[in-house]
Structure 1
Amino acid sequence: MIYLDYQATTPLAPEAREAMLQWLDGTDGGGFGNPHSPHRMGRQARAAIEVARDQVAALFPPGGSIVFTGSATEAINLAIRGSGAGGTVAVSAIEHAAVLDTAGAIGPCHRLKVDGKGVCDPDQALPADTRLICVMQVNNEIGTIQPAGRWHGRAQDAGALYLCDAVQAYGKLLLADADLITISAHKFHGPKGVGALWIRDGVKLTAQMTGGGQEAGIRSGTLSPALVAGMGAAAAVAAQRMDDDRAHVERLWKAARRLMADWDLNGSEMDRWHGNLNLRREGLDVNRLMNDCREVMFSAGSACASGSGRTSHVLAAIGLTTREAKNSIRLGFGRYTTMVQIEEAARLLNEGAEAQGV
């Protein structure tokens, strides 16, 4: 099988797996301790979590702290719901459903427009009562990179907070300044089931899940040392390999663009993470292509929307018709993708499209 769905999830890094094993199988007699217990086993587990906290924090801007969560979705909910009440939350039209649905559920929500390339311009008007601005750094469907640093400045000028969903950016790009930043371990070769919220010093949040208050008093629940340790190890590897990973992705991107030159690109070619290739071909039956190319793991949209039958809100926001959106596929690749896999996948997908006469 050829795995080309890196935006949905990434393969677990061997280093992350190794870091997790001690806290899964009881190596050295302390692997199953509760990290919130005061005895020696608990302190050992807690020490592993704090090592991981430092590893994860190393890729964030200075002047903030990390709260571990069960996912980026939980982190987003804590950031949006916990940052205050009243006022309007302004969100880009191409945000992940975790942002759009949460912002829409709590009160007035203003949609920020994107252009035909999928970029959200910070110069557009904001409601006078805007209290929070949410613009992701890298889009999960079309890979476009947003001017996140400028959005942070815009939020400061408006007296608002800025939340940046950096799920697709963390470990790949330098993170922009923000007040709140969310990430998910399984998007940078860590385990599923653990995420984090970075909170700028001085920003106060209200807990949204009551209980023990284990994480800074604002997130309750026993942390998994194994998951957190795996996240930390994945972050450390990403920090070491960021330049090499980016160079590898650029080589794969150039090859894929050359081999699939007959496909139209959705979104900006330049303002984009090049590990995301969202393409369309007029008249393409994507379901048939998936059936005919079962050895290639790719997506018809974001994993969260697949199977819903709904047109991608991201592709609609950049001006694609419903038909064009349904003629689109997403290929995602990265650290563990080989050139041979890209070449073989392109051959299979091209042959599949040609068999449909498109």
Structure 2
Amino acid sequence: MRLLFPLFLAAALGTCLVTSLTAQELEVKQPQPAVLGVINDVDVTVTDLTEEKINNSPKREVKLERLAESLKLKLPKADPKLFEQKFAATFRLVISPQTRNFASFVYEGDGDAQHLAFIGQGRLLYPQDSGGSDLPSSTFQRMIKALPKDVSPAKEERELFTNPENFGALINVVAGEYDRAENTYWHFSFLGTTPEQVELRSKAVLTILDQGASRPIQLAILKRREPLCVQLRDQRKAVESAQRMSNVLQDELKSLADFTPDMLPNLRVQQMQLDVDLAGVQARIAACERLLEKTPQKVERRNQIEDLKVAAEIESSGFEARRAKSEEFIVKVKAKVELGTKLAKAEQSRKVALGGVRNSEEQIKRVDAAIHAYAPLPLVDNKITVQPLEWTQ
């Protein structure tokens, strides 16, 4: 009997919403310095997960339990080959539910590892249940192909696992039984003619699963990590660059604290009035000059005209000074508006980059979690039980 477990593919996509300023928003509020929050207490780019460590994972310390009591199995069919089997080895492997969340990390990749994405579910040994036509033996062929040469099982074991006729006969696997942690188990049983043979077959399948499935899957996921770390470092630099730009702009805005965009209309009205007044006084000066250029007049009359000209020139100087100051204020108000616009863009760039940082950090954390989730499946009690086999009707 085989139990099929559903596959749930989960993908976490980080999104970042940012606000923008419209052209009509002339009033620039003084921004408060934001917490950078880029480098956390634990830098996710630092890890002890390496290709070397995955390739040299600790070997299992398996305890062998030999029972005198026979294991009673119902004879599925009258097959002389089955009657030759005198012993059985049984053990259980824990299937973590976490692998359901990370199958996409492998399945969306390429190469043989993607076919092993369901190591945490019953579908690994029954791939045809997931819509394919493969047999369990083809899955074992892929796992054996992925084994390092120095740990490959002997020819007899390789032929055992790659022969489809052996599944359901000499090899039995049932995925089932939940515990409180929502883990499930693979129940393995191997039949053989001697205790040593079933022990060897049991240890061989552990090696195949560890080195031919878990290891290549972990390595495939690990390949995703470094590009994400490079991306994260670039995003952090972008955040820091935008923050520096924001700090510079804020410092420049401090000298313009007394100027506000709403001053601009009044300043322009004042400037227009000054232009009118200046035009009037310059006209008086010109009139005085024309009168003075005419035929000589009485000294008293000439002195009066010169006095009027001097007074007009003084008044003109005052208007020009006021106009220059008004123009200076207009330039500063415009400068503040421009700096405020640049600051808003810098803050927006920082927020976007910071959103990218957080998203990349989460992706790296998920990669690390996926690598740990696809670690070799725990052997219950680190034990393989070997006992005599008794067939029943």
TM norm structure 2: 0.19
Q: State the structure with bigger RCO (CA 8 A, min sep 6), 1 or 2.
A: 2
Higher helix share: 2
The structure number with the bigger radius of gyration is 2
